[in-house]
């Protein structure tokens, strides 16, 4: 997934380096003020989902991007097809309803639909009820993150689902809230 947002509220490096140029262009619409730099944050996997083959593939892809842009010498193969850009306001931040242990029902990269069970929280503190609480997707999309540590507190982020439509509950600090 590729995420983009004018102002996520998180003061990311990518936003901080581009924002002054965007503000200048907005303040002087009659002048042609190009963006003076390009910034991107590249997420390179996580703690447990990397190996030699995957690392070599990722490194090769990153070097090919630099070749296509002319930053390093060499011939790069044709770029892969572009994917749609996802606004941070279309990415659902999935939180736990209770303390417990996560048991995921979906894999990273899996497509889910709104209402689909994506995880269970085994809640050892449940008294007189089901110790297993199901967490459902609130949007159609792709599971782009999952929490590595399985022991969670109530209201802790356990996954993110990148959808295509802005979600009404996504306001404020869009990187996490």
Distance CA 136, CA 115 (A): 5
Distance CA 84, CA 82 (A): 7
Cα of 69 vs its chain's centroid, Å = 24
Give the per-residue pLDDT at 160.
92
Where do the domains of the chain lie, and which CATH numbers do they carry?
Answer: 2-68 (no CATH), 88-162 (2.40.50.100)
Distance CA 40, CA 13 (A): 8
Give the per-residue pLDDT at 141.
94
Distance CA 37, CA 17 (A): 7
Mean per-residue pLDDT pooled into runs of 10, the chain (177 residues): 59 70 89 77 69 85 91 92 82 92 93 97 75 94 91 94 86 67
Q: The pTM is what?
A: 0.70
């Amino acid at each position: 997934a590729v995420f983009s947002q004018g102002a996520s509220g998180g003061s990311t490096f990518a936003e901080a380096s581009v924002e002054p140029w965007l503000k200048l262009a907005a303040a002087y619409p009659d002048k042609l003020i190009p963006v003076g730099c390009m910034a991107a944050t590249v997420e390179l996997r996580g703690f447990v989902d990397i190996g030699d083959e995957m690392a070599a593939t990722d490194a090769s892809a990153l070097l090919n991007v630099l070749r296509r842009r002319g930053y390093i010498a060499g011939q790069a193969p044709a770029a892969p097809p572009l994917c749609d850009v996802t606004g941070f306001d279309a990415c659902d931040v999935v939180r736990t309803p209770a303390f417990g242990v996560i048991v995921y029902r979906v894999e990273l990269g899996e497509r889910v639909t709104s209402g689909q069970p994506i995880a269970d929280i085994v809640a050892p503190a449940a008294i007189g009820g089901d110790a297993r609480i199901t967490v459902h997707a609130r949007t159609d999309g792709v599971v782009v993150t999952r929490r590595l540590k399985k022991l969670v507190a109530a209201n802790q982020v356990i996954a993110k689902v990148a959808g295509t439509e802005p979600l009404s509950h996504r306001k404020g600090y869009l990187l996490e809230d």
